[in-house]
Amino acid sequence: MPKQSKRYLKAEEARDLDKLYALKDALQQVRDAPTAKFDETVDIAINLGVDPKHADQMIRGAIVLPNGVGRDTRVLVFAKGDKEQEARDAGADHVGGDDLAKKIQEGWFEFDRVIATPDMMGVVGRLGRVLGPRGLMPNPKLGTVTPNVGAAVRDQKAGKVEYRVDKAGIIHCGIGKVSFEGEKLWENASALLDMVLKAKPASTKGTYMKKVSVSSTMGPGFKVDPSSPLKGF
């Protein structure tokens, strides 16, 4: 087990392992804990009572968080003609076709999100083996394969995040930075939790939202009372 920092150990000592916090209080604990020398990301972990092996219980989606995520998202767009200019006007960092595909195949990955128009999927499809494992493959269900590239780019720049339940039934997602005001973090977390709640499959049995916790990049986790998330700040 890697050696933990003094900051982490100090925060761990102050933590009540068994306490369930209201969402706003748990987020405050994360913000108050001794932090690293950089602006840490605040993460939320949502443990769901689903079996991802069943297609109808594979919870995934995307959401534009109300207050963004506190970092600039580098957006790459596969488009041509008028759509290429539309993407550039919307603020895309990289726009192109075969030229970008060649760079990616050679190991270039200086981007965080990939968007493609439907007519470019023939080019993008060849990159499945390199983009897929990195979670970068465009997907129409997530709004990243679309003719409306301008809107898609603006959404990504505004703080759109993608989430997906893992094999253990847990969703991990960044919801901002420790420097955010508590209310802004709460608004982001509540928006995500609300969307996940609305995505509850009809086939699930028992408790759907089993556990929720929040933490910073280098800090300990704080357990959230699953019944509290959407109560007002």
Domain 75-158, architecture per CATH: 3-Layer(aba) Sandwich (3.40)
Whether 12 has a pLDDT exceeding 60, the answer reads: no
What is the model's pLDDT at position 1? 47
For residue 193, the one-letter residue type is: L
Q: Summarize pLDDT for 35-79 with one digit per residue, the tens.
A: 678 899 999 999 999 999 999 999 999 999 999 999 889 999 999
Given pLDDT bands bounded at 50, 70 and 90, which one contains residue 16?
low
What is the model's pLDDT at position 71? 84
Q: How far is CA 118 from CA 11, 42, 60, 162, 199, in A?
A: 48, 34, 21, 20, 26
3-state secondary structure 43-86: EEEEEECCCCCCHHHCCEEEEECCCCCCCCCCEEEECCCHHHHH
What is the model's pLDDT at position 210? 93
CATH no., domain 16-69+160-224: 3.30.190.20
Work out the average pLDDT over 7-18.
Answer: 60
C-alpha to C-alpha distance for 139 and 135, rounded to whole angstroms: 10
| Domains of the chain, residue spans | 16-69+160-224, 75-158
What is the model's pLDDT at position 3? 57
- 8 A C-beta contact, residue 156 and residue 113: yes
Q: Summarize pLDDT for 104-153 with one digit per residue, the tens.
A: 999 999 999 999 999 999 999 999 999 999 989 999 988 999 999 999 99
